[in-house]
Amino acid sequence: SLQLLLDQLHPADRLALLTFDSQARLILDYTPASEKDKILQALDSLQTSGSTHLEAGLRLAFSTARAAFDPAASNRILLFSDGAANLGGATAEEILALIADSRRQGLFLSVYGVGRTGVHDELLEQLANKGDGTYAFLDSIEEARRLFVDQLAATLHTIASDVKIQVEFNPERVRLWRQLGYENRQLTKEQFRDDRVD
């Protein structure tokens, strides 16, 4: 997935790579995409482990991104995880608050579920929601190609933020409807009119 993404980046784009298991480690500091061999070597060095210290990984990712923040660029963190946060002392609310604070500073978070079993979709989707990013499950190379090749602009760039959409159906024409996706973002009429409600 990351190799597909790397092939699509502009040579001047920069990326950093970190990993987290029982601790978080910066594998590669911000490097131009033109240094593809160096980035691929860092990707090839990644190893899996049984632990997931999600809090440490996110804290390191956000501090690294803040240090290299470019107001003229799209500053986005891509998290690849099964979401099984089995280490760390922070509560889910504390992690979500960290993400919300970073989003207000212009750092967005998109999340990708990976793994064969036990992917914690609910947590991963909450992280993406707080980070004004997207959540997708990478279950095949075809899905990776769709996200990181075919729809790369939508994957990496924020087209609009803080957008609310209200839809009213004509009851004479529409008898039944069902919302698919973003159910957890549905607002009441009162919340829709209140700009303090995200």
* Gap between the Cα atoms of 188 and 184, Å rounded: 12
Instruction: Give the predicted TM-score (pTM) of the model.
Output: 0.78
What is residue 151's DSSP assignment?
T
Q: Which of 44, 2, 46 is nearest to 26 (CA)?
A: 46
Question: Long-range contacts: 116-119, Cβ < 8 Å, 24+?
Answer: 118/82, 118/84, 119/82, 119/83
Token pair for residue 141? 């190379």
**How do the pLDDT tens digits run along the chain, 198 residues long?**
889 999 999 999 999 999 988 888 999 999 999 999 999 999 998 887 767 788 888 889 999 999 999 988 888 999 988 776 666 666 667 777 888 878 878 888 898 988 766 667 777 888 888 888 888 888 889 988 998 898 887 667 666 666 778 788 999 999 888 776 666 677 888 888 787 776
